[in-house]
Chain A
Amino acid sequence: MPFIPHTENDTREMLAAIGAKSTEDLFDEIPAELRIDYLHEVPEALSEMEISRLMRGRAAMDGSPLCFIGAGAYEHHIPTAVWDIATRGEYYSAYTPYQAEASQGTLQTIYEYQTMITELTGLDVSNASLYDGASGLAEAALMAVRANRRVKTGLILLAPGVNPVYEHVAEAIAGSQGLTFEWLPVDATTGNVAFDQLPEGRNPVAVVMQQPTFPGTLEDVDRLTDWAHAEGAFAIGIANPMTLALLKAPGNWGEQGVDIACGEGQPLGVPLSSGGPYFGYMTCKQQHVRQMPGRIVGRTTDLDGNPGFALTLQAREQHIRRSKATSNICTNQGLMVTAATIYMSLLGAEGIAQVGRKSHENTARLVDGLCAIDGIERLYKGSYFHEVALRFDRPVAPILEALAAKNILGGYDLTGSAGTDALLVCATETKTDADIDACIAAFAEAMG
């Protein structure tokens, strides 16, 4: 029997000890009319050899196209050691480290992760991660409402550069708790916030901004952070952690830095894998730590006075506080955090900066090549990191289809959110000059 060790003799002896005739007897408290004896939609079992063949066939259907899509998830080289170690059984098949003495490996790894992510974001404290970047914004908004007690409006203002899906998710998760989300006005030439049209006297509890923005531009986050604070609001900064070895850390935006930073951790060693599992990071200033959701690891000492690690500040959490908890969140994305920690350790700050510089350079090569094609130009003026929005003189979808037929995924169709025919492209360090030139040539041909 797959994954069940019992011999017939074992089963017989165990039933005898229980005083039952068959395993069926063990279900005798379940009302008979509720019982079923057949599952119609579940096929017969496959052996490991059979399922392996099936899955390899399915994987081949998806292929390995040359991918220039970013839009919140980014292809980066992942060192072999990252997942070799993260999938060791001792990490992979361990539970949440509630029994601290038997979980020092996971706990120290998280403590090291917390250190690394606070270094990147320039803030004081980190939790052990949230589900993903999008849901992390919902948690950050709820946290701002708890921590910024003077403001009772529940109003969250979003810079136009915030990933639109993050707004949908935040609304779905936090909307029923009296929070409202509103967009700040956009400057059509830069794609960034229109500073001369910022609303006055709205009394927002938090202002959310993203760097780099969803359409790839670089926002004046210093000025926006200062404006948020002048309005009495918290500043929440969303940043791609991969960019933070080069770009200014959210903790240093403006005069005082943001109050909470959050974002998608996937670029740090987590495979694209159709959208998950990823992890959301969250860091904040020291004074707000008791309002932070999720697990947190602290360093302490044991009975002999030796240092060790344990989950701490658990009085915030659902298993203690129940209906009064800071969040219903129970899981963190432990395995992904383990991978990210190993990734950051292998690359170091200089390696991550190098990945960022190369991704920037590759994207510049791609954008320059594409903009030389008639009918393609940049949608917004200004600087970018490793992703750029392009305006097309015709619908994008048929062009993307033509490229896909050549096994090139040309970018993310922005037409819906930009209100014009537009495409978002990204070329990370994984692309060679030849890859990029092939992509440009395919666009040129499709644009005919």
Chain B
Amino acid sequence: MSELIFEKSRGGRRAFAQAPVEARSLSIPEQFLRDDQPRLPEASELQTVRHYTRLSQKNFSIDTQFYPLGSCTMKYNPRACNALALLPEFAGRHPLGPVSHGQGFLTCMYELQEMLKDVTGMKGVSLTPMAGAQGELAGVAMIKAYHDARGDTERDEIIVPDAAHGTNPATATMCGCTVKEIPTGSDGDVDMDALKAVLGPKTAGIMLTNPSTLGVFERHIKLIAEMVHDAGGLLYYDGANLNAILGKVRPGDMDFDVIHMNLHKTFSTPHGGGGPGSGAVGVNQRLLPFMPIPVVTKREKDGETFFDWAAEDDIPQSIGRLSGFMGNSGVLLRAYVYMRMLGRDGMQRVAEFATLNANYLMVKLRDAGFELAFPERRASHEFIVTLKHEAKDYSLTAMDVAKALLDKNYHAPTTYFPLLVPECLLIEPTETESKETLDNFVAAMIEIVRAAKEDGVQYKEAPYKMPVRRLDDVKAARELNLRYKPE
């Protein structure tokens, strides 16, 4: 580990160029003031710049490594999206500023809503949810509000396939619902008999990801929609895997009632080391009255069109506000720029080449002897390799391969998710990677397994070439050390 910034501190040192003109007075009574000074770093500007630059260099990132992390869509984040979102007028715009000083921003937001409606086939879009999980919360809350508004108050069960992201069941619980988990069939599609068995008068809805987290398209989706709707429930679409079908097939056409999109996946806004996300929601006709506020609307005044917020007065049955202002607006600007740069044809190319890369990588790994979880199926934009035989025969687990890949300068795929496939690697190459990168990755995978099989190499202590070796997670949780304390 690098020395902490606190350990580099020296009393009285500071980035003096950053201080404002000293105030002449402070007329705040003693009772409200603190009598100690917080122990923040005391460092020069260069020390701070060097410290955090050095720290950044200890990260893997899309800009520096292939990052085939399944379900996370780690594609290139175009630089222009960031630069244009941070134009001084956009970066400096106060969220409560009048619409007279926001028509540029609001135009972008309105057009973003329209484009997202089109690519998802929904009737309305609200951009306010700040992450995928908050989009899910908004979606399930809208489903509940819809049933409640009809006096259908007994519906409190949300159906979730066992392959779902953990946020799905956690969200259902947060909305006061009970989770009914259903199994997946051996072909990767939902087990229809199990679905039929849980549907009933208490069904509020079902949460589905399509293509699923197993990397396959749910072929019975129309039938599922019909069954759920017949039972009085609604369908929620988890947009985690929208990248796979962009411009090819739309959740609205699959009869989903509400969806969330992960703009930080499909529309290439930065993952930022864990956020910000952005989880815009789309709804069909029947859920329009319940959308989270505010949304951007077009109004006319004196024959002139202008953009304005639609809030409590316009959408009185709304599930309400989910953020202090209007969600992660700067992220939305980045997504807007990205979508305009892709354009109509570019959207479809995303799905085509993401799918091409995934299927190519899948076939290459299969031909190299890796076992696929669903060998009879097409990959969507991602696919699953299972190492259950390697684990049994050579004690080579998914975790070992993940750590060995780090030493070969590849970020690991997603490991041990979905939970129902043993020793699995969920691999998503994305459309922005070249054939050479994929070929080199296959070679690295082959070499890792070859060395284990032929040379008896064990990776239990890998990685060796990272800034740290494998970390003691048990100690981290047992002997909690969550902040620096001076000696």
Contacts and interface: CB of A to CB of B under 8 A. Distances in A.
Contact of B360 (A17, A55, A114, A299): A17
Q: Report the contact-size class of chain A (Cβ under 8 Å from the partner).
A: 35 or more
A85 interface: yes
B35 to A, nearest CB: 8
Contacts of A446: none
Contacts of A248: 32-34
A171 B105 CA distance: 28
A44 B347 CA distance: 10
Nearest to B169: A323
Interface in B188-245: 216-217, 219, 221-222, 245
A308 interface: yes
A73 B34 contact: no
Interface string B311-324: 00000000111111
A180 interface: no
Interface in A178-230: 178, 211, 218, 220, 222
Given A85-B52, A89-B64, A331-B131, A105 B248 contact: no
Contacts of B176: 176-178
Contacts of A48: 78, 80, 341
Contacts of A116: 38, 40-41
A325 B377 CA distance: 33
Contacts of A114: 482-483
A310 to B, nearest CB: 5
A437 interface: no
B77 A333 contact: no
A434 interface: no
A358 B345 CA distance: 52
A53 B59 CA distance: 34
B292 interface: yes
Contacts of B136: 328
Interface stretch (B110-118, B280-288, B384-392, B450-458): B110-118
Interface stretch (A239-247, A254-262, A372-380, A388-396): A239-247
B55 interface: yes
Q: Report the contact-size class of chain B (Cβ under 8 Å from the partner).
A: 35 or more
B146 interface: no
Contact of A89 (B61, B87, B343, B350): B61
Contacts of B331: 276-277
B476 A299 contact: yes
Nearest to B32: A218
Contact of B330 (A30, A122, A276, A345): A276
Contacts of B84: 51-52, 55-56
A147 interface: no
Contacts of B425: none
A175 to B, nearest CB: 8
A319 B57 CA distance: 28
A61 B103 CA distance: 6
B310 interface: no
Given A90-B56, A102-B406, A79 B15 contact: yes
B47 to A, nearest CB: 8
A218 B28 contact: yes
Contacts of A133: 324
B439 to A, nearest CB: 10
Given A88-B53, A105-B56, A165-B321, A331 B273 contact: no
Interface string B330-353: 110100010111111111111111
B103 A325 contact: no
B378 interface: yes
Given A18-B360, A317-B166, A347-B40, 6 more contacts: A38-B344, A131-B276, A277-B330, A307-B1, A331-B130, A401-B100
Nearest to A362: B23
B40 A59 contact: no
B14 interface: yes
B174 interface: yes
Interface string A273-299: 111111100000000010000011111
B98 interface: yes
15 contacts: A55-B90, A73-B94, A73-B325, A77-B20, A118-B483, A274-B105, A300-B479, A319-B167, A321-B166, A335-B276, A346-B43, A354-B23, A360-B28, A409-B94, A409-B98
